[in-house]
Homo-oligomer: A and B are copies of this chain.
Amino acid sequence: MTAYEIILRKRDAGELAPAELEFMVDGFLSGSVADYQMSAFLMAVFFRGMTEDETESLTRIMLESGDSLDLSSVDGVKVDKHSTGGVGDKLSLIAAPVAAACGVRVPMISGRGLGHTGGTLDKLESVPGLRTDFPSDEIVRLVDEVGMAIVGQSPSVAPADRKMYALRDVTATIECVPLIVGSILSKKLAAGLDALVLDVKVGRGAFMGDIESARTLGLRLTATARRLGLPAVALLTDMESPLGRAVGNAMEVAETIEVLRGGGPLDVRETSLAIAARMVHLAAPAGDYEAALGAATRALDEGRGLEVFARFVEAQGGDARVVDDAGLLPTASIREPVTSERAGFVTAIDALEIGFASTALGAGRMTVDDPVDPAVGIEVVAPLGTEVAAGEPLAYVHGNEKARAAAARARVGQAFLIGDGRPEVRARLPEVLE
């Protein structure tokens, strides 16, 4: 067996045996398969795809390349959710405490923002004092005592994924379903879960632009997870426009608290509840989904989600007073409006443009080493469907630097489309893949 033969077989549309995939992945990690062979192999996979068997093997091999979290000492059913990344996406921050308030144990391993998408860890770290780096035994303790934890990934988890992802990122093989599946699930399987809810974003601001490709990814994710013994459900959620009204780290935490208080934008509330309910339902699959949704809604409306959130913030070293006083979160020095040039209806808000505007302000990063400004972001005041007059504000840019704020204002202006008729607003949750 040689790397050459394995590349050739995949190039010529062959199906690879588990031992062949292991040869490539483990060899790449140990250095016996060169990076230039791995990158050629990944490009061949991009064009030829992988069967379900291959995807399952790849995921298992990537999982077994590193350590796993042992949550067996924690009672209860451990359920996580994973999002493929969006703009204004604070659903994890709401769904996790709501599900935990319903008795689900939520050991959530999250990531940082890159490009136009935000990252849950960046958002959380805008809370003064809050930490996301904990050793395994601390994570187990947090889940046991608080019911949830949101932490960064240990470097010892799925090292094959880290090395492969870095290579894919510079060789244009990110957008490939079996490789995405292997990358997501190898890490999730390492977290000792009993079930998983997948939030596959679709639209301009998402990885998957159209519903068909989102469905393909969602189906392959759930099928592979189940083959590896992890019950999973995928929700396709709309990311054509940003979620809610706040885009930016501290601003999204503030919106999270609003929703957990029973207010906030309806799309954020409803999508968070749908995800929390799926987590609850997966934890007790004998019950019906409507009952799970009812339980999640009550947990939110009775303030039990907010209680768990406050305990979680405190347990991870954060200032829990932010729950009662959002003014304790960092704020930006500049707040400038973006106004409508004409009268009409907000027909579209391009999530990709808004995401890049937010990154331009400093809320996100273009490379993994960029620093992030917790205070800055975009505040949408005229969401989809709003009727506006000429000169009326559509959004406010919150910035800390004049030049960056000006650049962001221009991008935000381009993101808004003002039309003559009242538009039909797309459903945030068009499809569930059970």
Q: Which of A64-72, A167-175, A329-337 lies on the face that meets chain B?
A: A167-175
User: Nearest 8 CB-CB pairs, A to B?
Assistant: A40-B171, A43-B43, A36-B39, A8-B172, A7-B172, A39-B40, A35-B36, A36-B36
A257 in the interface, Cβ–Cβ < 8 Å?
no
Smallest beta-carbon distance A77→chain B, Å: 42
Per-position contact with B for A32-46: 1 when CB-CB < 8 Å, else 0? 001111111011101
A3 in the interface, Cβ–Cβ < 8 Å?
yes
Per-position contact with B for A11-34: 1 when CB-CB < 8 Å, else 0? 100000000000000000000001
Number of chain A interface residues as a range: 20 to 34
In the complex, the chain B residue whose C-beta lies closest to that of A46 is: B11
Which one of B37, B44, B167 lies within 8 Å of A170 (CB-CB)? B37
- With a 10 A CB-CB cut-off, give which of A11, A39, A47 has the most chain B CB atoms: A39
CA distance A39 to B35 in the complex (A): 9
In the complex, the chain B residue whose C-beta lies closest to that of A167 is: B36
A residues contacting B by CB (< 8 A) are 3-4, 7-8, 11, 34-40, 42-44, 46-47, 167, 170-173
CA distance A43 to B36 in the complex (A): 11
User: Once the chains bind, are B38 and A170 in contact (CB under 8 Å)?
Assistant: no
CA distance A177 to B207 in the complex (A): 33
Known: A36-B36, A39-B40. A170 touches B11 (CB 8 A): no
Q: Write 24 A-B pairs (CB below 8 A) sorted by A numbering.
A: A4-B170, A7-B171, A7-B172, A8-B172, A11-B43, A11-B172, A11-B173, A34-B36, A35-B35, A36-B36, A36-B38, A36-B167, A36-B170, A37-B170, A37-B171, A39-B39, A39-B40, A40-B171, A40-B173, A43-B43, A43-B44, A43-B47, A44-B172, A47-B47
CB-CB under 8 A from A8, the residues of chain B are: 172
In the complex, the chain B residue whose C-beta lies closest to that of A6 is: B172
CA distance A46 to B10 in the complex (A): 13
Smallest beta-carbon distance A337→chain B, Å: 34
User: Once the chains bind, are A170 and B43 in contact (CB under 8 Å)?
Assistant: no
- With a 10 A CB-CB cut-off, give which of A3, A47, A171 has the most chain B CB atoms: A171
CA distance A167 to B4 in the complex (A): 11
CA distance A4 to B38 in the complex (A): 16
Smallest beta-carbon distance A78→chain B, Å: 37
In the complex, the chain B residue whose C-beta lies closest to that of A48 is: B47
In the complex, the chain B residue whose C-beta lies closest to that of A174 is: B8
Smallest beta-carbon distance A178→chain B, Å: 16
Smallest beta-carbon distance A33→chain B, Å: 10
CA distance A171 to B40 in the complex (A): 6
